[in-house]
Amino acid sequence: MYSITMKDLAGKPIDLAKFKGKVVVLVNVATKCGYTPQYSGLQKLYGDLEDKGVVVIGVPSNDFGGQEPGTPEEIQSFCSKSYNVNFPMLEKVQTKPGADQSPLYEFLGTRTGKLPSWNFCKYVIGKDGNPIEFFPSSVKPDSAELRKCIDAALAVTP
């Protein structure tokens, strides 16, 4: 993952290598989805674990039900005002396979054999930049199975 450069919602390049040595919870997000209230749990997870080396990264996508139609400014404003989100948010990308698929999701799909089938799917990525586990939308940010995976990833020495 560390060889990939993306852009944040402001359009500034983000070298994913800056997250080396951290456990990353990467989530494809959308502001108009039934799972959108998970932003609250994702922010709590980030707030609780940031000082332990966990980063939550939101990656907006309009691939499922057209549920992320907003501009980068609208997405940022919604996340800040509605859920006080302060974890990193990347630019809106395509998660599905095809010519326009984000290199990030191409990497994740190749490494895990799994791509999001709806909004708010989660990947836990180890300190070495390799995906450890994929969780579907129904797994909430405060679920025991997600937390167990994060804790195990934190325990690994890179």
**Would you call 44 exposed, middle or buried from its count of C-beta atoms within 10 A (0-12, 13-18, 19+)?**
middle
Cα torsion 2, 16, 49, 110: sign: negative
| Active-site entry in 33, 79, 121, 149 | 33
Query: Known catalytic residue: 33?
Result: yes
List the catalytic residues: 33
